Structure 1
Amino acid sequence: MSAFSTDIRQAVAILEAGGLVAFPTETVYGLGADAENPAAVASIYAAKGRPSDHPVIVHVAPEADIGYWAASIPAEAQALMQAFWPGPLTLILKRAPQIPAAVSGGQDSIGLRCPSHPVALALLRAFKGGKGGLAAPSANKFGRVSPTTAQHVQDEFGDEPLLQAILEGGQSAVGIESTILDLSRLATHGPVLLRPGHISAAQIADVIGVMPSLPDAAAPRASGTLAAHYAPRTAVALVAPAQLTATVQRLHQAGRRIALIRYGMAPSALATDQSELPDTPDGYAYGLYAALRAMDAAGADLILIESPPLGHAWQGVNDRLRRAAHDSAGILERML
């Protein structure tokens, strides 16, 4: 894999030849391939270790013909694209018949997004003259913490031969993945929020006049919606602010090494490694994945996280934390 690059022309040449390029978006860095090239998309799955039935999101330029990718574009989708694109909103629509099923995990739907990061926009406008699409899940191994810097991508993939370039674009401004809204079943289910993110359900409702419902059993599979996801290798536990100090003390007494992520609690002398995040939803999201990666590298027995507030503004953050801690359920009881 080549070093970090800012050469859009080189990246386009790699992509048009069927290769993989990591690139920045405002949410996280993506691992991109030509969405219309099934072999290239298969390389994404191989590099990530991603199950082939788990769909990826197709990123398009602002000027793209959405009708080329989607079999139909309901009025709700048009209104949301007008309101939030370019930006961190992915829309699930019925896939046009000529688009390979590889990007959809074999489903008849497709996830589409127009990112707002200037490097992503330059890449999409140059790729196939702005008419192509880049399949691009987050540029990390499947299920792990998403990358928000080019260095995170390098740390994740090392010398992975399938990844031929990493476009440098600074730290992602949003810091968590896009909101995903299913509009592929409006007649029967209405809009369905598959994954919360920076754009809230309330903001969506303000545009289309209907509050999205929660996912149902028949909802399309979508990126980043498995119960366990965004997880560091170190076990993770969430603790309410009122119980955090006592929990840290008990873990210390039990001889456990703790890595602490906090936002309100004062620094703890009992936690060898710790990271303080802002107490605002946007600030917390911006720093979350970098903090998880740093604490994961600390060699602790447990990453202890001060649970952030509830409420609509914190929905995306709490969704990521819940999935990150899913496979560590009961860890506190076992350690104490």
Structure 2
Amino acid sequence: MSPAQRTVRAALAATAVVAMVGTLPQPIAAADPVPPNASDALKRYNELSTQAEKLNEEHLRAQEDLKVKQGELDRANGDLALANEAIKVLQRDVDMLTEASFEGARFNQLSALLVSDSQQDFLNRTSALGVLAGSNAEAIGKLGEAVAQAEDAQERATTATNDATKLVDDIAKRKTALDEQVGEAREQYRSLSASEKAALNDSGDLGKITVPAGTAGKALEFALAQRGKPYVFGSNGPDSWDCSSLMQAAYRSAGVSIPRTTYGQATIGRSVSRSEVKAGDLIIYYSSQSHVSMAIDGIRAVHASTEGVPVKIQDIDSIGPISVIRRVEG
């Protein structure tokens, strides 16, 4: 394994460890526009949180891109190993056939005629020589194909390694920017008044809500069951969530796999208009597509919002400017 490939694998391992032990910065994201009469501190906090959530989703997307590149690298290395093995076998066949051509007579009818005892023997020898020559030509052709496949696999492996190495550097830079943004937003949160913090921490409607049958209903039932749990930056549950991990887990509980990031979730299923919204639809917010909620009906949605705000129900349009609405199934 090359040093670059070891760097890529080490980065993937570090990413997995971060996900398991929860060492990423603490909860920051922003989905809720502040009320008109909000304090300057709360307005500033909302701005900082919105920026932090965008960086969070970009960081997650870069990690997913790295996994894709690692998969490409693994496939290319696998193809390269198979091609190299084929080259060994075919080279042996070519060597054996070439050696046979020199041990016997040269591949021409004159040599066959000179050593033949009869006309039939001549025909037999000619036929055998023809088969041997054809086999040798075929083996050489296959060897050439195997070499070309090996060269292609090597080129793909090199490209994937270079791309993944660049992504490792990109992830490190994004993580640094993310940490700085989170730190600034968390500092701003500490400056909020007790009443503002209490308002943010309100869990809202925790009452029973009837969900429709089917996949969307099962996903919605899961999301609603998470109400009151905290938002934790980069969390994948089950005790805390960020916005996109909650949506992913909800649909996973219904037997449907969807992407981890809001960017990926903004491309699945089919697009529906605001007037068509129904239970289970994913509502992606902001021009940056950095926040997501799940529709309960045409008015309300459930989502993981921001630091100090538990998973809760809010009016769809109060969460933020809508970018796109996706129906996962149906």
Range class of TM-score, shorter chain: under 0.3
For CA contacts below 8 A with separation 6 or more, give which structure has more relative contact order. 2
Question: Comparing both structures, which one devotes a greater share of its residues to helix?
Answer: 2
Higher Rg of the two aligned structures? 2
Q: TM-score, normalised by structure 1?
A: 0.21
